[in-house]
Amino acid sequence: MFNFKQKDDEFFDLFLESAKFFHTGALVLDDVMKDYTTASKKVEEINRIEHEADAINDRIIDKLNLTFITPIDREDIYALANDLDDGVDLLQGILQRYDMYRMGKPMPGAINLTKLLLSSTEEVVRAVSYLENIRKNQVQILDASHKIERYESEGDLIYRSEVAYLFENEKDPIELIRWKDVLEQLEDTLDHCELIADMLRGVVMKYA
């Protein structure tokens, strides 16, 4: 049965929960960069986080299907919910690779990219926390989005520099392939943060 009451703001609480799972996943990845011997244990942790994030995403989609009047456009709710959930999936993939490849001590570039992911996901949480009143909080949302863009640009430079270093200095082709894959996944996850930032800016343009 449809919920016909005036705009249901519970969506924003669920978005915030989802964004926090994204940031928590980045914290888990950072733990591995600090102590790579914990990788197997941390894979179990990210698997649990991913499962909980999926449950939140399911709640959002179920609620969307049952809500007649939504606080923002239905397609925006659907896209944001899935993008936040996909972010956790990307982090899960990085950690699984790290463990599966038996990566060992992380490259400086991997550590730095992870730090940028921590900062980016923190800004995702901040931006999402302001969505409930877009018109009032448009400056804060846009500020967080711009910061994410800057982190992504920094990440591009680090990624290119680290891959260049690999091809110039790494003589073991297997080691080169493993690290290049992990670095690509880290950079892709930063790109995904920028995708979320772009979407949030679009939402501000619609409703502010």
Query: pLDDT tens-digit profile of 113-131?
Result: 999 999 999 999 999 999 9
Q: pLDDT of 46-74, one tens digit each?
A: 999 999 999 999 999 999 999 988 999 99
Which residues, including other chains, have CB under 8 Å from residue 39's CB and lie 6 or more apart?
A: 32, 95, 98, 99, 103
The pLDDT assigned to 8 comes to: 62
Query: What confidence tier does 7 reach under pLDDT thresholds 50, 70, 90?
Result: low
| Assigned token pair, 70 | 């939504």
pLDDT, average across residues 153-171: 97
Model pTM score: 0.94
pLDDT, average across residues 6-35: 92
Q: Among 4-13, 29-38, 182-191, whose mean pLDDT is lowest?
A: 4-13
Query: What confidence tier does 110 reach under pLDDT thresholds 50, 70, 90?
Result: very high
Instruction: Please say whether the beta carbons of 19 and 144 come within 8 A.
Output: no
| pLDDT above 70 (res 6) | no
Q: How many CB atoms lie within 10 A of CB 10?
A: 13
In order of 62, 88, 150, 167, 180, the CA distances from 103 in angstroms are 39, 21, 28, 17, 11
In order of 16, 53, 57, the CA distances from 38 in angstroms are 28, 22, 28
The pLDDT assigned to 5 comes to: 47
Hey, which residues does 67 pair with through a beta bridge? 3
| pLDDT above 80 (res 28) | yes
Query: What confidence tier does 4 reach under pLDDT thresholds 50, 70, 90?
Result: very low
pLDDT, average across residues 148-165: 98
**How far, in Å, CA of 203 to CA of 208, rounded?**
8
In order of 6, 34, 192, the CA distances from 94 in angstroms are 41, 15, 13
| pLDDT above 60 (res 95) | yes
| pLDDT above 60 (res 3) | no
The secondary structure of 53-101 as a DSSP string is HHHHHHHHHHHHHHBSS-SS-HHHHHHHHHHHHHHHHHHHHHHHHHHHT
| pLDDT above 70 (res 1) | no
